[in-house]
Each structure stands twice: as structure tokens, then as C-alpha cells.
Amino acid sequence: MSDRDTSTFFYFNMAIALLCYLAIFIAAPYIAAYYHQPSLLMLARIMALGIIINAFGLVQRVLLIRALAFKLVTRASLISSVFSTVFALLCAVNGMGIFSLVVLQLSQSTLNTFFLCVYGKWAPKLIFSISAFKELFSFGFSLLLTAMLNIFFANIYQPIIGRYFSIAYAGFYYQAKRLYEVPVLTISQVVDSVTYPILVRYQHDRAGLESRYRKIVTLLVFSATPVVVMISIFSRDIVWTLLGEKWLPSAKLLAILSFSGIFQILETTSGSLLKVEGRTRLIFRLELLKKTIILFNIILFCRWGIVALMFGIVANSVISFAINQYFTSIKIVSYKKMATILINAFLMGLMAFLLKEMISNVYLAMVIAGSTALLFYLLLGYLQRLPEQIMVLGFLSGGRRSVAKP
């Protein structure tokens, strides 16, 4: 991409971010009135600054991904998540209350953008090309609408929970969502960054495209399933360790939400395949369909309570992946292989749970039970000669080559 293209994209992106912030700024009084919480007027306007901060580093992130510098993107995300969580905990301990959540969001956005700028080593020039804008707009408009739709629906549950259950439950949900999104979003971002350049190499070779897609999906099922199971098993310990006793009601929500993670990751992968095939308009139409189903599920599950609503979120993730997968028209993996991986993960989870119950110390339980169960999972894969285990080790040691090679 030339400086003309990147600078044009940067200014357009910043303009969209400013418009979004302006919309939230204007809507803030209505948000406060909706919750009957006057303090939300200022909170909404401050937290919305994260939109502008994130937009400032978007081009740098795209350039790093284009250069296949996935480790740098992941490093920026992980460092910002860790330090922002520490900052927020310090603020909470010192009695800042709800403002600790503001610190959490804005510090994460600021740190992530800072590191992306440092690693990206790019700065915009005073260039805005109409022709470049038209080229980018023709391909990216549907993806832009899709992204805006996803952002809106990613945050739709908090206002609903806060309005129809309680502000406290909205806080518990927010923390549970934050905890399970740390691994899930990190994996999803890396997957989206890695799979697209791999698959795009085979966009004119259908057989090669299907082969690589199956490899990637199988690798993800094998590697992401134990992460999801571990989060669910140790949900109470994770919440108690990271957030403290007063946030323990989040644990039950986290245990349920974690199972939606694997389907979100797989949905991201199938979405990458649709982008490779240039079906951006179809992606937007599918998102409209999936969001309609989400609204229906909210109405259906909300009447049964907060726990039922969490199961509804899991159901949405399964349905969303199934819809994407249907339109890719690729059989992802044999049912026998899928069943083997899931049974192994179940046995691993059972072992982790039993060992955890035998150890009274929370920290020792997580370390000993977690590591032992994970080794057991890997041992089962080794004894069954699952090729996915070799693929995971190859991916970790050799990057994307283990998936990209024939």
C-alpha cells in the first residue's frame, strides 16, 4: 500500500471515529435517563474516547498484519490487557469504584495504540486521495457496515441486563465478558490475521483452499477447546484471584460464556474464508441475519433470568458459526475426529475438576490441577496419534508454515 492509500484510510477512519463519538456524546443524556443514573452522562462521554484512541492505531495494525508481524500485534494486545487490568485493580482498591472501569478501558486502548504506533513505525502524511478513497470504499464499505454492526451488538447485552435485571448484574456480566474475551479475542485476532494471508494464496485453487481451511479449523478445535474448558472449570478461582470476592457472582456467568468462545473463534475463521472469496456483501447480509436471531434470542431467554440469557449467548455463537459454515460449503472435519477431540477435552476437564477439589489452596489448585490436566490432554493426543497435536507444535515453533505447507 502506498502512502496515498494509507493516509487516505487513516483520515477516513478518524472521521468515522469522530462521528461515532459525537453520536455517543449527544446520546449520553438519554443513556443516563434510560438507566436512571445521572453519573452515566459523564461516564459515557469519557469512555467513548476509546473509539477515537483505537481508531488512531488502526492503520498501524493493518500494516503490521500485512507485513505478517503477528507477534507484534499480539504482544501489543497482551501487554495493554495486562497493564490496564493492573491499573484498574489499583484504582478499585483505592476506592475509585465505577471509574476503575473507565481506567480499564481507556488505559487498554491507549497502551495498545501506543505499542502499535511504536511497532508500526508509520505516521500519516497530509494526503487524501479521492481515487484511493473510491477504491477502498468499493471493497470495504460492506465490511465497514459489518464492523459497525458487530460493535453495536457486542455491547447490546450490558444495557439490557442493566435495565431489566440490575446495574450490579450488568457489572458482573461485564467482568465475566472481559475475562473470557482476553483469550478469545486474542486468539480471534491472531486467527483472523494469520488465516487470511494463508487462504488468500489459494483463492484460485479450490482444492488447496479447502485443504488449508480444514487444517486451520481442526487445529483451532484441538487447541482452543482445552482453553475454553479450563476457563469454565476454574472460573470461580479466576474471578476470586483477579477481581476479588465481591465479584464472585461473575464466576457462574464466566463458566457459561466461556463455551461461546470456541464458536466465536471458528466463526472468525469461516469469515476469513468468505473475505478471501470476495463475498463481502454476503458477509454483511449474513450479519444482518445473525443479529436478527440475537434479538429473537434475547427476547426468548431474557424472561428466564440472567443465567438463561448466558446460555442464549452460547446458542447465538453456535448458530452464527453454523450460518457462516453453511455458506462456505466446505466440510470442516470428520465427525469421528471432532468427537475424539471433544471427548479428550471432557476427560481433561473432569481430571482438572477432581484434582481442584482435592487441593484447598486456590493458587496451587490452578497450577497443579491445570497443568496436570493439560499434560493429560496432550498425552491422549499423542497416544491417539492425532495430527493436530503435531500441527500445534509446528505452528508454535514454525509460525504459519505448519498450516500453509501442503
State the Cα–Cα distance between residues 129 and 309, nearest whole angstrom: 47
Which of 88, 104, 124 represents a domain boundary (last residue)?
124
Q: Residue 359: inside a domain, yes or no?
A: no
- Using alpha carbons, select from 235, 269, 234, 259 the residue that is nearest to residue 249: 235
Q: What is the pLDDT of residue 140?
A: 60
Mean pLDDT, residues 21-33 taken together: 87
The conformation of residue 156, written as its DSSP 8-state character, comes to S
Q: What is the pLDDT of residues 231-251, one digit of tens each?
A: 889 888 888 877 778 888 888
Q: Residue 366: inside a domain, yes or no?
A: no
Give the number of other CB atoms < 10 A from CB of residue 105. Answer: 18
State the Cα–Cα distance between residues 35 and 42, nearest whole angstrom: 13
Number of structural domains the chain divides into: 2
Q: Residue 308: inside a domain, yes or no?
A: yes
**Three-state secondary-structure class, residue 48:** coil
User: Are 83 and 140 contained in the same domain?
Assistant: no
Phi, psi (rounded to 5 degrees) for 363: -65, -45
Residue 403 has pLDDT above 80, yes or no: no
Which of 279, 302, 332 represents a domain boundary (last residue)?
332
Q: What is the pLDDT of residues 42-90, one digit of tens each?
A: 888 888 888 889 888 888 887 776 676 767 877 887 788 788 878 877 8
Spatial neighbors of 366 by CB under 8 A, at least 6 apart, are 234, 237, 238, 241, 356
Residue 22 has pLDDT above 90, yes or no: yes
Domain interval for residue 120: 1-124
Contact 8, 129 (CB under 8 A): yes
State the Cα–Cα distance between residues 47 and 56, nearest whole angstrom: 16
Q: Residue 374: inside a domain, yes or no?
A: no
User: Are 137 and 118 contained in the same domain?
Assistant: no
Residue 128 has pLDDT above 90, yes or no: no
User: Are 136 and 284 contained in the same domain?
Assistant: yes
User: Are 22 and 52 contained in the same domain?
Assistant: yes
Q: Residue 389: inside a domain, yes or no?
A: no
